A and B are shown apart, each in its own frame.
Chain A
């Protein structure tokens, strides 16, 4: 404990604080970017799964397989697969980009499932009414389903996003300069673990907790409207 007090001024030096701030930014960027892309792709996947044509059946099966798999394989394994995938094919990719791709794949799988649940929550009768008036799938989604489903999907995705911030910590394992990586690097430089990881834990908490609260408020607000 005395180490913490003794190291405090050295720990919070200008360059270190900058380092931490950069790491925090990278953490936020990784989570935000992967979830935003995940939302777009997840919507496309969920919509594609609604199609009925025989021609698209192989695609639908592939998408189902991928989303189910990516939700059940530990994120670390996915990360390693993407990382080694690029390196073995000798494609030069920055660690951040590798982590972003891996995390986006995982986020997409989970969000696709959230969107799909959102679609399924719209009563059958709404779909039927649109069908009998010759709405195409796209038109049904655009005019009827999405305007009703977003109230459930958006808060759920927000809460997923908050939870997903924690998964970005794994990116530290392939060298991305995010919070966890920085915490470890401080220890390697001799700082007290209590101080280093304590600070990192606190930063994660300060990032996550208010957003979680906001997400719950949003959920409650939209559910009642």
Chain B
């Protein structure tokens, strides 16, 4: 049974079509990486899945259940099961790292405060920030903030983790600490959909790579295929230009 099943997804932004019919499936424990030039719609797919953008057409099925993103109940259901980590981390500026991680489970999901806090501490330690529990976002580096954002997403116990260019806003030296965290999660079997420019990383971890251009999937397959023996010329062109990033 597929975990996530997307068919012919279309979406518009500011009146213009951004996704023009995207189809893909994600199996449990898989890591699907979306690559492609800017504006190809990669982040739009993630934003649509998490309800920030309403799709104009297509079907989205989570565990065989079809989701209607025009219904708030379905959007809430999707957000319960999929957690997103943003390129700009989007941590709540008025909260410490610990609070950022505990606020949703405690205040929104109404779980027990002590349990939530214990889990949050463990998560922050897991991403290597056990000593920064009470730091505010403006006291943390970009890499640290991103790791808090990952911990925050994990605190939601998502079935699928959406990573939207999580290293693109970081200074190069800080990229590896975030990638290490993602490696850890991959090793634990977390289902992930990532949008990334880090080709080496994609190649190492992804179980399936999708190359998108202008709102459509050009080619999809395992990393070996996409990176070494792509079927489409466009794919080969893109890989050739970006391989040594």
User: Do A and B contact each other directly (Cβ–Cβ < 8 Å)?
Assistant: yes
Contacts A133-B108, A143-B92, A148-B93 given; indicate if A128 touches B79 (C-beta within 8 A). no
Q: Is the interface of B mostly helix, strand, loop or mixed?
A: loop
Cβ-defined contact, A135 with B90, below 8 A: no
Cβ-defined contact, A125 with B93, below 8 A: no
Bitwise interface map of A from 134 to 163 toward B, beta carbon under 8 Å scored 1, else 0: 110001000110011000000000000000
User: A128–B95 Cα gap in the complex (Å)?
Assistant: 16
Bitwise interface map of B from 163 to 189 toward A, beta carbon under 8 Å scored 1, else 0: 000000000000000000000000000
* A182 vs chain B, min Cβ distance (A): 46
Q: Which residues of A contact B245 (CB under 8 A)?
A: none
* B69 vs chain A, min Cβ distance (A): 13
Q: Which residues of B contact A125 (CB under 8 A)?
A: 86, 88, 90
* B190 CB-CB contact with A under 8 Å: no
User: A143–B107 Cα gap in the complex (Å)?
Assistant: 9
* A133 vs chain B, min Cβ distance (A): 4
Among B52, B93, B94, B107, contact of A132 (Cβ-Cβ < 8 Å): B52
* A126 CB-CB contact with B under 8 Å: yes
* A203 CB-CB contact with B under 8 Å: no
Q: Is the interface of A mostly helix, strand, loop or mixed?
A: helix
Contacts A125-B86, A129-B86 given; indicate if A139 touches B52 (C-beta within 8 A). no
Q: Which residues of B contact A148 (CB under 8 A)?
A: 93-94
Q: Which residues of B contact A132 (CB under 8 A)?
A: 50-52, 79, 83-84
Among B88, B94, B95, B156, contact of A133 (Cβ-Cβ < 8 Å): B156
Among A126, A128, A133, A147, contact of B104 (Cβ-Cβ < 8 Å): A133
* A131 CB-CB contact with B under 8 Å: yes
Bitwise interface map of A from 95 to 137 toward B, beta carbon under 8 Å scored 1, else 0: 0000000000000000000000000000001101111111100
